[in-house]
Structure 1
Amino acid sequence: MNETMQTLFSWLHVDTLTEFWWVVFGLAGQLLFTCRFLVQWIASERERRSVIPIAFWYFSLGGGLVLFTYALYRADPVFVLGQSLGVVIYARNLWLIHAEKRGV
């Protein structure tokens, strides 16, 4: 392994290439999670009122699932518990939105 990769591994607190890819996976989940705030903020600014578009819930669910999976890999019970409840809430909100559109 070259010096640049050793520095990167050290900075990310990983020892193996597998751990490195898990960190990349976790960062991707965090990016999805961050996108939901941007989507909500832009939609609210356009409407000049608080708006939660459906994309917010999809980004929430996607980011939550990725972060939940990452937390399971890292075996972090606090992180697992924190993400698990959110995933249920995001999925339920999407279910309610789609049920309303179907007229159920």
Structure 2
Amino acid sequence: MPVPAGFMDAPIAALAWTGIHMSPWKLIGLTGALMFGSRWVVQFIASKRARKPVIPRLFWYMSILGSLMTLAYFVFGKNDAVGILQNLFPAFTAAYSLYLDIRHRGWNRDRAEH
């Protein structure tokens, strides 16, 4: 069954009772923003447990996924150059940091520390 044109911009019918226009693109953008912001909670919990500053690998995964989701929202849903620029660089930075983490400490770093 083909997806109708404009499907990603149309309001989600199941959420109409809220009175908020929530399209699939907006849902992707909000989920990405929440993921990108909540990575700091992950970092806080890991540092509190270790009693020293720690950046767990999950922080980088959440950074990449959150950046890519919000980037997709701004590219395809909103077509907003400011949002695109704002989310393009963190995605590359997080991907490079994850690459360095894996290269320096190996794939099973987080498992070995527990």
TM-score range, shorter chain: 0.7 to 0.9
Spell out the pairing of 1:10-21 with structure 2 (5 A cutoff). Answer: 20-21=23-24
Mapped to 2, the partners of 1:87 and 1:8 lie a distance apart of 29
Any unmatched runs of 5+ in structure 1? 13-19
How far did residue 35 of structure 1 move? 2.4
Task: Find the counterpart in structure 1 of residue 81 from structure 2.
Answer: 77
Answer 1 or 2: which has greater helix percent: 1
Mapped to 2, the partners of 1:69 and 1:38 lie a distance apart of 24
Task: Find the counterpart in structure 2 of residue 47 from structure 1.
Answer: 50
Determine which of 87, 98, 104 is the counterpart of 2:102.
Answer: 98
Q: How many residues align?
A: 92
Identify which range, 24-33 or 86-95, moves more after superposition. Answer: 24-33
Q: Which runs of 4+ in 1 moved over 2 A?
A: none
How far did residue 48 of structure 1 move? 1.8
Any unmatched runs of 5+ in structure 2? 1-10, 107-114
TM-score by length of 1: 0.78
TM-score by length of 2: 0.72
Mapped to 2, the partners of 1:78 and 1:8 lie a distance apart of 24
How far did residue 34 of structure 1 move? 2.3
